[in-house]
Amino acid sequence: MCGIIGILSNKEVSSTIIDVLKKLEYRGYDSAGIATIFDNEIRRQRAKGKIENLVNLISENDLPGTIGIGHTRWATHGIPSEDNAHPHHVGSVVGVHNGIIENFREIKEELINKGYKFQSDTDTEVIIQLCSHYINNGYNNRDAFFKTIGRLEGAFALCFMFKNDEEKLYVTRRSAPLVIGYGKKDVFVGSDAVSLSNLIESVIFLDEDDVAILSKKQTNIYDKLGERVDRKKKSVDLNSDIISKGNYQHFMLKEIHEQPEVFGYATSSFINFKTHKIEMLNEIKELDNVDRLIFVACGTAYFACAVAKFWFEKYVKVPVEIDVASEFRYRDTSFSKNEYAIFVSQSGETADTLAALRKVKGKVKKTISVVNVVESSIARESEFVLPIKAGPEIGVASTKAFTAQLAVLACLAINFSNKRGLISKKENSELIDELVSVPGIMSNIIKKTSIYKEFARKLMKAKNALFLGRGILYPLALEAALKLKEISYIHAEGYPSGELKHGPIALVDKKMPVICFAPVNNLFEKTISNVQEVQARNGKVLLITDDEGASRLNSSEISMIKLPKFSNFISPIIYAIPSQLIAYYTALYKGTDIDKPRNLAKSVTVE
């Protein structure tokens, strides 16, 4: 994921920018760049590849200036190249960006129709061109910046400079990280506080949608309505983990909030935004003779496979088997050379998943791993690797890795469907558009904290809970139950709603909360009859539905979380967010050790 740095100083800034860019390398990148302002001129150097290439350029062409911005780019829209590298510069505006702009096409078309010419394939240049357009139309820098942000959809962190405003940095963030750091005399902006840690004494973590206009002497922060707001400065204590948790009380909460950004990166590393196609596993061309796809994983990663089964059956139309690794490794199973086996693991070190991979190697056509840690054993031992690029997941309960696994598996289903010639151009585009819309939807529903807290208050006193879902949301009922039991220690079970009357309904009484996932889809009416079965037995129903579902039910006895309307295809990804937040706040109210729940390990390297 891209990294951002901005500096306001009394000294030359380019070498400090380089130092910080090196610290941001861990986020992954394929090009880097710096811009400064000197003598009322924007100076810029960009290079493809390693930061050393940029250093060499700067040693040949000095970059003077006491104000500057820098960037490590991890390609999404457009190949890694100098033209696509940041900072992007148009007219008097120069800026860097981390994130994905969902509506960049629409804005780009608008600007092209007005006669603007683009130099890169990036969504970032669209933002800079738009801001420059507002300036051409008489807006001052501040108003142009606000007006530009007002047009953007998606997840983004921005840091801009303006040629005629040499003393200021203009920054904002939405569902992407950005901090302001204060040194003895200098002011910094960065993607994280860790990369600035040797330069700063205190830090401000910006809230969602905050806009900050910074000079060496003044920090002016505004909310999205343009109202001045105060954000507390925190002193930097290098021994404290506040640096990496930011404003969040727990890593788990931070990682939940990172999902819009992480999901955007996970999908966009496979979406070719020019051709509107998913490009992955180019080595696999022939899928006509495939007999079966086998997905193997443990825990949350297994539930990601359970969601993927729906996608692969629908769009790839091959038999799909999913299995938990600890069972799979010991079963007598026949394999054929026309099968692909796919292993999903955040850590890439889970002993059972690794053993399952070793079991099938050489017996199936190819093994594919979907991992977060690309240097892991599972990645090294599988023939193809699909990285989910979620960044380090510290909270033991998996959150962002789950939705990033879903991102990659959804892309793979679309890609395989195309390779089998089963999907029309139109459907392909629609599915990609739906994936692109996910970060925006996630950002909106993550913010509705009070409703998750209200659900959590109802759940915290329960000893048991049932989660119900049908179809593609059944695996989400399993995942939501796992999240709740792991961190709040409340016994929870996930069931397919239709299975309720075959046993678990015996447990329902007035003490049993039943959390039901009920979007309006082809199974809505059936799910609602299951809800009524629970109500008839005095069960406490907590419903997660959409606006239409809520109005069709119109029941004051049911507590509801209302989500916006989205397609069935992306519904398991979106429903992950309320599942995680309900578990999180329930555990918070119970006072459990959320990031390190008892008896659990982050990486299960033993059987």
Which residues of this chain interact with ligand F6R, rule CB under 6 A?
Answer: 298-301, 345-347, 350, 353, 397-398, 482, 486, 603-604
Least distance between ligand F6R and beta carbon 296 (Å) = 10
Least distance between ligand F6R and beta carbon 346 (Å) = 3
Cβ distance to ligand F6R smaller for residue 168 or 483: 483
Buried b (16+ CB within 10 A) or exposed e, 253-292: bbbbbbbbbbbbbbbbbbbbbeeebbebbeebeebeebee
- Report yes or no: 513 and 540 within 8 Å, Cβ to Cβ: yes
Least distance between ligand F6R and beta carbon 396 (Å) = 6
Taking CA atoms, 492 is separated from 309, 463, 481, in Å, by 23, 8, 5
Report the residue closest to ligand F6R, judged by CB.
Answer: 299
Cβ distance to ligand F6R smaller for residue 57 or 394: 394
Cβ distance to ligand F6R smaller for residue 72 or 345: 345
Residue 296, beta-bridge partner list: 323, 343
Rounded to an integer, what distance in angstroms lies between the CA atom of residue 565 and that of residue 82?
Answer: 40
Least distance between ligand F6R and beta carbon 32 (Å) = 31
Q: Which of 344, 352, 416 is nearest to 387 (CA)?
A: 344
Cβ distance to ligand F6R smaller for residue 352 or 434: 352
* Dihedral over Cα of 284, 387, 276, 341: its sign: positive
Q: Which helix (H) or strand (E) holds 413?
A: helix 400-419
Among the listed residues 277, 448, 590, 602, the single catalytic one is 602
Least distance between ligand F6R and beta carbon 304 (Å) = 9
Cβ distance to ligand F6R smaller for residue 29 or 585: 585
Cβ distance to ligand F6R smaller for residue 72 or 300: 300
Cβ distance to ligand F6R smaller for residue 18 or 356: 356
Among the listed residues 2, 159, 411, 516, the single catalytic one is 2
- Report yes or no: 442 and 308 within 8 Å, Cβ to Cβ: no
Least distance between ligand F6R and beta carbon 382 (Å) = 13
501 annotated active-site: no
Phi, psi at 199, each rounded to 5°:
-110, -15
Cβ distance to ligand F6R smaller for residue 281 or 482: 482
Least distance between ligand F6R and beta carbon 322 (Å) = 14
Rounded to an integer, what distance in angstroms lies between the CA atom of residue 67 and that of residue 236?
Answer: 23
Rounded to an integer, what distance in angstroms lies between the CA atom of residue 173 and that of residue 158?
Answer: 6
Rounded to an integer, what distance in angstroms lies between the CA atom of residue 42 and that of residue 481?
Answer: 54
Least distance between ligand F6R and beta carbon 343 (Å) = 9
Rounded to an integer, what distance in angstroms lies between the CA atom of residue 152 and that of residue 466?
Answer: 39
Rounded to an integer, what distance in angstroms lies between the CA atom of residue 494 and that of residue 599?
Answer: 21
Phi, psi at 63, each rounded to 5°:
-120, 80
Rounded to an integer, what distance in angstroms lies between the CA atom of residue 165 and that of residue 572?
Answer: 46
- Neighbouring CB atoms inside 10 A of 481's CB total 25
The CA dihedral of 569, 572, 576, 579, to the nearest 10 degrees, is 140
232 annotated active-site: no
- Report yes or no: 181 and 187 within 8 Å, Cβ to Cβ: yes
Q: Which residues are catalytic?
A: 2, 602
